[in-house]
Amino acid sequence: METENKSIRRDALEKLFSQWLAAGKRILAPKKIADKTDFAWIRTLDEVNLDQVQTVQSPKTAIFPRVEELFSFKSSDGLVQIRDRDAAALGEIVVFGLRPCDAAAFAALKAIFTWDCPDRLFSARLEKMTVIGVACARADEYCFCTSLGGDPGATAGSDILLTDMENGQFLAEIVSERGRQAVQTASGLFAPAATREKESHLAKVEPGFNAKAIAPVLASLFDDAAFWEEQSRRCVGCGACAYVCPTCACFDIQDEGGSSGKRLRCWDSCGFQLFTLHTSGHNPRPLQSQRWRQRLMHKFAYMPERQQVLGCVGCGRCSRACPVDMNILEHLRAIAEAKP
Amino acid sequence: METLKNKARELLAAKTVQVVIGYGRGSGGSSRAMFIRDPRQADDLVFDGACLQNLAVYLMKPEVRKLGKAALVAIPSTLRTILQLAAENQVGDHDLLALAVNAAGAVVPLATLNAIETHVAALDNNLSAAEKEELQKYESMGLDQRRQFWEEQFSRCLKCYACRAACPLCYCSRCTVECNQPQWIPVPAHDLGNLEWNIMRAMHLAGRCVNCGDCSRACPVGIPIYLLNQKLIGEVFANFNFRSGMAAKTDNVMSTFKPNDLEDFIR
């Protein structure tokens, strides 16, 4: 559909939230927690913090929770009964205040979870999610969306994108049918837009490297062990980068309980030594440098090849969260500049 | 700063060490670990108040170990870590050269564990005034309040294990959480899994943690894990009159059996 431009007053958001909550929707939005801002389930506008450049974690938990029950089981008299998690019982969710990079990241998650065998729970959650993005007024040195085709005011992935016009009003770009429905339901809160000029209210993010140059160089670097060791020597092998990433989709399966219990899907990370450890004891990626290579290869070579989508949106979270300052933008620049 | 750079150049040129592990400039004015093998790279070394990472974590990393003998730029907690690693037979005498920087900015090379012990003994290894104040505030909470406090904190734990990876004393090649025959700790990052993981981690470091604070700085969601470590440092001192990271040859409080133990259940 063609984008419609409307406007909404900042103080009207409170009413919008009340309407969503009254309709049984849950709201996931950036909230200040101690000295950090992170996505949390909120009930009032007061709880929401839109001043931060970026949250610690991405909003992927809305459709890919860090722990999720897939089914429950019960065994008695030699028979095992399995009860699938009821996807129809999953509630509707509004993700509010996420940045354009995060909104764009849902496409990468979708590409993975619906690739060969559509994931039932993921697809159900995606169907029940409304995405209300807020354009970036500020960026920091870790942001690099513009190197990967995004920008601080991009609408892709949002149902409605709000831009703070700095006069108590948000420009509301209604991008999808779901966005239009959300506006219709909130009768009276949205008004015609006085202007749709938003550029002057957006952050400037200079492109840092040529993304197209990355894949062929990566392919040529695969066997260059020294290159990857040099890049990753200070990496300590935790999963912080993967867990805060809006597109990292790897998971682990855990069964809990004895003769009756649950099967759970939990986040996992290719940075962990155990991730590729075989039952035989063999580990195809025994070194951290090989695991770092895998992280970049998966995002910038394998996903574009297999799913026609980049596995990175340039949100910069992994760099901000890294305990040892592995700055992904710096590493990508070095790769883009390496000779294939 | 120049003395540190000169020392690094000298050590590498003379092949006394194969690598100098120090701090370089990181993103946004921070510092980050750097591994210098070419004397010309020594120019990039920095040392200031932003240099907080405990670089001893790299002594246990295979990719770093294979570079050869290391000189390690060492802040006080790094020196205590080296002694604790030695007490646990992970580092031997003359395995590395610690480069301590004293208050006047002079570099003090410490080539033996004995030299490190002497240097550490002269430092103030107590909690800082701010740390003490925060710990007292925590200890003044009642049991229910404390439980509530940790339930709220651990509800945010992602189980990314950044705390474990950043800790130089969490060097087990296979952590208890990764054993599933039997499964000791639930893997999922749900309430029980998070509670058990964080308590197990703290208990395994009781009598070993040297309070470098890297676990807490590493935590992406900002859980104040240091409170558990500092609380246990106090408990271990009160009960066993022992402080970790002070001696290169010592028994570990929590894993040493003595026939004259005060407790009946253990005899």
Sort out which chain A residues have CB atoms less than 8 A from B187's CB and list them.
252, 254, 266
Question: In chain B, what are the domain boundaries?
Answer: 2-121, 129-242
Do A274 and B178 lie within an 8 Å CB cutoff? yes
Share of chain A above pLDDT 90, in %: 93
CA dihedral B197, B202, B205, B211 (to 10 degrees): 130
The strand ranges marked E within B69-176 are 70-74, 96-101, 107-110
Cα–Cα distances (Å) from B234 to A331, B83, B89, B136, B197, in that order, read 42, 19, 24, 11, 21
B28 touches chain A (CB under 8 A): yes
8 Å CB contact between B82 and B95: no
ipTM value: 0.95
CA A100/CA A97 separation, integer angstroms:
9
DSSP designation for B56: G
Question: In chain A, what are the domain boundaries?
Answer: 4-64+81-201, 211-337
What secondary structure, in 3-state letters, does A49-90 show?
CCCCCCCCCCHHHHCCCCEEEEEEEEEECCEEEEEECCHHHC
Q: What is the pLDDT of residue A301?
A: 94
What is the per-residue DSSP string for B65-100? Answer: HTT-SEEEEE-HHHHHHHHHHHHTTSS-TTSEEEEE
Query: Count H helices, E strands: chain A?
Result: 11, 12
Mean pLDDT within A242-254? 97
User: Minimal Cα distance from B21: which residue of A?
Assistant: A234
Do B165 and A238 lie within an 8 Å CB cutoff? yes
Sort out which chain A residues have CB atoms less than 8 A from B158's CB and list them.
57, 66, 239-240, 243-244, 267
Mean pLDDT within A103-117? 96
**How many of the other CB atoms lie within 10 Å of CB of A39?**
23
Of B32, B30, B34, B27, the C-alpha closest to A329 is B27
Do A289 and B64 lie within an 8 Å CB cutoff? no
Q: What is the pLDDT of residue A213?
A: 83
Sort out which chain A residues have CB atoms less than 8 A from B172's CB and list them.
none
Contacts of B20 (CB under 8 A, 6+ apart): B8, B11, B12, B35, B36, B37, B42, B45, B70, B71, B72, B73, B99
Q: What is the pLDDT of residues B149-203, one digit of tens each?
A: 999 999 999 999 999 999 999 999 889 898 877 888 999 999 999 999 999 999 9
Q: What is the pLDDT of residue B182?
A: 83
Q: What is the pLDDT of residue B207?
A: 96
Which of these ranges, A73-77, A336-340, B3-7, B236-240, has the smallest mean pLDDT? A336-340
pLDDT at residue B256 greater than cutoff 90: no
Q: With H, G, I as helix, E, B as strand and everything else as coil, classify residue A331.
A: helix
Hey, of A287, A325, A333, which one would you mutate to test binding to chain B, going by the most B CBs within 10 A of its CB?
Answer: A325
B187 touches chain A (CB under 8 A): yes
Do B62 and A141 lie within an 8 Å CB cutoff? no
Q: What is the pLDDT of residues A65-79, one digit of tens each?
A: 999 999 999 999 999
B26 touches chain A (CB under 8 A): yes
- The residues with which A257 forms a beta bridge, in sequence order, are A261
Length of chain B: 267
Sort out which chain A residues have CB atoms less than 8 A from B164's CB and list them.
238
Q: What is the pLDDT of residue B105?
A: 80
When the pLDDT of each residue in chain A is averaged and rounded to a whole number, the result is: 95
Which of these ranges, A240-244, A314-318, B99-103, has the smallest mean pLDDT? B99-103
- CB neighbour class for B237 (10 Å; exposed up to 12, middle 13-18, buried from 19): middle
pLDDT at residue A205 greater than cutoff 90: yes
Do A321 and B220 lie within an 8 Å CB cutoff? yes
Element (H, E) at A251: strand A251-257
8 Å CB contact between A170 and A191: no
Give the minimum alpha-carbon distance from B104 to chain A in angstroms, rounded to a whole number: 27
Sort out which chain B residues have CB atoms less than 8 A from A242's CB and list them.
160
pLDDT at residue B261 greater than cutoff 90: no
In the block, residue with structure tokens 């390690």: B72
pLDDT at residue B126 greater than cutoff 90: yes
Q: What is the pLDDT of residue A171?
A: 98
pLDDT at residue A212 greater than cutoff 90: no
Mean pLDDT within B121-138? 95
Do B162 and A240 lie within an 8 Å CB cutoff? yes
Sort out which chain A residues have CB atoms less than 8 A from B220's CB and list them.
56-57, 240, 243-244, 321
Mean pLDDT within A204-215? 89
Sort out which chain B residues have CB atoms less than 8 A from A232's CB and list them.
63
CA A331/CA B244 separation, integer angstroms:
38
Q: Could you say which of A56, A252, A288 has the minimum Cβ distance to residue B220?
A: A56
Q: Could you say which of B160, B187, B217 has the minimum Cβ distance to residue A252?
A: B187
Sort out which chain A residues have CB atoms less than 8 A from B161's CB and list them.
238-239, 272
User: Minimal Cα distance from A324: which residue of B?
Assistant: B32
First to last CA, chain B: 54
User: Minimal Cα distance from B160: which residue of A?
Assistant: A239
CA B189/CA A280 separation, integer angstroms:
27
Do B158 and A239 lie within an 8 Å CB cutoff? yes
Cα–Cα distances (Å) from B201 to B66, B171, B209, B211, B229, in that order, read 28, 12, 10, 14, 9
Give the minimum alpha-carbon distance from A338 to chain B in angstroms, rounded to a whole number: 20
Give the minimum alpha-carbon distance from A110 to chain B in angstroms, rounded to a whole number: 22
Contacts of B7 (CB under 8 A, 6+ apart): B71, B99, B107, B109
In the block, residue with structure tokens 């004397």: B39
Cα–Cα distances (Å) from B138 to A293, B134, B142, B230, B236, in that order, read 42, 6, 9, 11, 17
CA B187/CA B196 separation, integer angstroms:
10
Q: Where residue B235 falls among pLDDT bands split at 50, 70, 90?
A: very high
B201 touches chain A (CB under 8 A): no
8 Å CB contact between A40 and A31: yes
User: Minimal Cα distance from B161: which residue of A?
Assistant: A238
Element (H, E) at A169: strand A169-174
pLDDT at residue A340 greater than cutoff 70: no
Residue A149, Ramachandran bin (φ over 0: left; ψ between -120 and 50: alpha; else beta) = left
Sort out which chain A residues have CB atoms less than 8 A from B58's CB and list them.
234
Cα–Cα distances (Å) from A29 to A52, A97, A119, B219, in that order, read 12, 6, 25, 21
Q: Could you say which of A36, A242, A266 has the minimum Cβ distance to residue B222?
A: A36
Mean pLDDT within B34-58? 96
pLDDT at residue A296 greater than cutoff 80: yes
Do B63 and A325 lie within an 8 Å CB cutoff? no
Exposure string over B52-67, b if 16+ CB within 10 A, otherwise e = ebbbbbbbbbebbeeb
Mean pLDDT within B70-93? 97
Do A67 and B190 lie within an 8 Å CB cutoff? yes
Surface of B (133-172) touching A: CB under 8 A: 156, 158-162, 164-166
Token representation of residue B175:
């952590």
Q: Could you say which of A56, A269, A323 has the minimum Cβ distance to residue B166?
A: A323
Size of interface A-B (CB pairs under 8 A): 110
Length of chain A: 340
Would the CA dihedral through A145, A149, A153, A159 be positive or negative?
A: negative
Pairing of the two strands B31-36 and B45-46: unpaired
Q: Could you say which of A141, A238, A266 has the minimum Cβ distance to residue B27?
A: A141
